[in-house]
Amino acid sequence: MALELNLQNKIAVITGASEGIGRAIAHQFAREGIHLRLSARSRDKLEAVKAACEKDHGVNVEIYPLDLSQSADQLELSRQTKDADIVVNNAGSIPKGKIHEITEDQWRAVWDLKVFGYINLCREYYAYMKDRGDGVIVNIIGNGGEKPVSDYIAGSTGNAALMAFTRALGGDSPDDGIRVVGINPGPVSTDKLVSMMKKAAVDKWGDESRYEEFYQPFAFDRVATPEEIAVMAVFIASPLSAYTSGTIVTVDGGMVNKGPLF
């Protein structure tokens, strides 16, 4: 159901919109009557999201199949969608691994998409929003930046950097009529996570249907749904959250404030 947050006919850019959290955000924004500008690498997956949002919610959807780890593609997206009222930076996935397990090339590749991709897109869209005196940027980051661990060192470090970046940018941005806010999801039941859990269940018990048993250490014996992150994103982007900037909202069932899970 729509939250009725007075966002009808706004225009939102969402990166990483072809699956997982990004796809859920696209659908939630569409429920609010927000027109969408969606980007990810996969044209086919973007076409599917576009078709569903247009059919179910009657909004206008444009897609931009781009590699947002590349500066040229980042610039192309921002220049073609400079009228965006809302920008949701969501593209990026950083693998687990200790310092000796992730090569320099791997480290740079994942940071080019998530860390420098967010920074570069914020720089471009901020300039357009400043000219208008209005706009919202929402960075989907990750709670690894709040509770760094050595076996997720590239992600913990990258997320911590984006948290600092979001706070720094969002501290002064109200002077320009802009709000910049971050969301830190914990584990989320995306297709990718469920597939990993099912494989682990096969390896441990020989039965993929038992994968949800791995969720027992988490709050409420589960992980978050993509829709729960999407609802937070649309609320933060709305006028009901008009005094929120330069802060990070954590949606992880209290995980970062809890002792060791295992």
- Whole-angstrom CA distances from 130 to 75, 119, 139, 175, 243 are 17, 16, 18, 9, 17
Domain extent at residue 87: 11-188+224-247
> Tens digits of per-residue pLDDT, 136-176?
999 999 999 998 999 999 999 999 999 999 999 999 999 99
Q: Give the helix/strand (H/E) hosting 80.
A: helix 71-80
> Tens digits of per-residue pLDDT, 9-60?
999 999 999 999 999 999 999 999 999 999 999 999 999 999 999 999 999 9
Q: Determine, yes or no, domain membership for 55.
A: yes
Residue 6 has pLDDT above 60, yes or no: yes
> Tens digits of per-residue pLDDT, 87-129?
999 999 898 899 999 999 999 999 999 999 999 999 999 999 9
Q: How many domains does the chain have?
A: 1
- The SS3 assignment for 47 reads helix
Q: Determine, yes or no, domain membership for 27.
A: yes
CATH code, domain carrying 45: 3.40.50.720
Average pLDDT over residues 204-228: 89
Give pLDDT, residue 255.
Answer: 87
**Residue position matching structure tokens 């980007």:** 39
Q: Determine, yes or no, domain membership for 20.
A: yes
Residue 259 has pLDDT above 70, yes or no: no
Q: Determine, yes or no, domain membership for 257.
A: no
Give pLDDT, residue 141.
Answer: 98
How would you label 155-194 residue by residue, b for 16+ Cβ within 10 Å and e otherwise? Answer: bbbbbbbbbebbbebbeebeebebbbbbbbbbbbbbeebe
Q: Taken in order 158, 49, 190, 137, is the CA torsion positive or negative? A: positive
Q: Are 141 and 183 in contact (CB under 8 A)?
A: yes
User: 6 is written with which tokens?
Assistant: 């007075």
Q: Are 87 and 125 in contact (CB under 8 A)?
A: yes
Q: Determine, yes or no, domain membership for 198.
A: no
Give pLDDT, residue 2.
Answer: 53
Average pLDDT over residues 245-254: 96
51/93 Cα distance (integer angstroms): 25
Largest CA distance in the chain: 58
Q: Determine, yes or no, domain membership for 130.
A: yes
Q: Determine, yes or no, domain membership for 181.
A: yes
3/235 Cα distance (integer angstroms): 8
Centre a 10 Å sphere on the Cβ of residue 104 and count the other Cβ atoms it contains.
7
Question: Which of 71, 72, 75, 47 lies closest to 61 in space, CA to CA?
Answer: 47
pTM for this structure?
Answer: 0.93
Give the long-range contacts of residues 153-161, CB within 8 A, separation 24 or more.
Answer: 153/97, 153/98, 153/99, 153/102, 154/94, 154/95, 154/97, 154/102, 154/106, 154/107, 154/110, 154/111, 155/94, 155/95, 155/96, 158/94, 158/110, 158/111, 158/114, 158/115, 159/94, 159/184, 161/115
- The SS3 assignment for 211 reads helix
Q: Determine, yes or no, domain membership for 262.
A: no
Give pLDDT, residue 21.
Answer: 97
Q: Are 14 and 88 in contact (CB under 8 A)?
A: yes
> Tens digits of per-residue pLDDT, 180-208?
999 999 999 888 778 877 877 888 888 88
Q: Give the helix/strand (H/E) hosting 127.
A: helix 104-132
126/121 Cα distance (integer angstroms): 8
Q: What is the mean pLDDT of the chain?
A: 94
Give pLDDT, residue 25.
Answer: 98
User: 120 is written with which tokens?
Assistant: 């570069």
